[in-house]
């Protein structure tokens, strides 16, 4: 579905950008590799409790309208 949407947006000369948004912490901000993720919540919490959460993007404020399609 994403490929179809991206294709249609490119036809309208609209740049498509993808952003991480599935978890509280960005995967690149974790203090460990995904393969080394703690197996329980307590271990995870101990490793991430001092991390700052990335600020959200201001995409909605920048959106000027949708393409004609």
Phi/psi region, residue 31 (left: phi>0; alpha: psi -120 to 50; beta: rest), is alpha
pLDDT band at 55 (very low <50, low <70, confident <90, very high): confident
Separation of alpha carbons 27 and 30, rounded Å? 6
Does some domain include residue 23?
yes
Backbone angles phi, psi at 15, to 5 degrees: -75, 135
Domain extent at residue 40: 1-49
DSSP state of 6: H
Predicted pLDDT of residue 27: 87
Predicted pLDDT of residue 42: 96
Does some domain include residue 69?
no
Each residue's pLDDT tens digit, 2-54: 899 899 989 988 888 887 777 888 888 999 999 999 999 999 999 999 998 88
Does the global pTM surpass 0.95?
no
Predicted pLDDT of residue 45: 95
Separation of alpha carbons 29 and 38, rounded Å? 15
Does some domain include residue 9?
yes
Does some domain include residue 65?
no
């Amino acid at each position: 579905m994403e490929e179809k949407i991206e294709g249609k947006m490119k036809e309208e000369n609209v740049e498509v950008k993808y952003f991480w948004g599935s978890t509280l912490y960005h995967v690149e901000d974790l203090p460990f590799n995904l393969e080394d993720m703690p197996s329980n919540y307590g271990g995870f919490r101990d490793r991430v409790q001092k991390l700052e959460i990335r600020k959200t993007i201001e995409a909605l404020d920048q959106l000027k309208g949708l393409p004609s399609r």
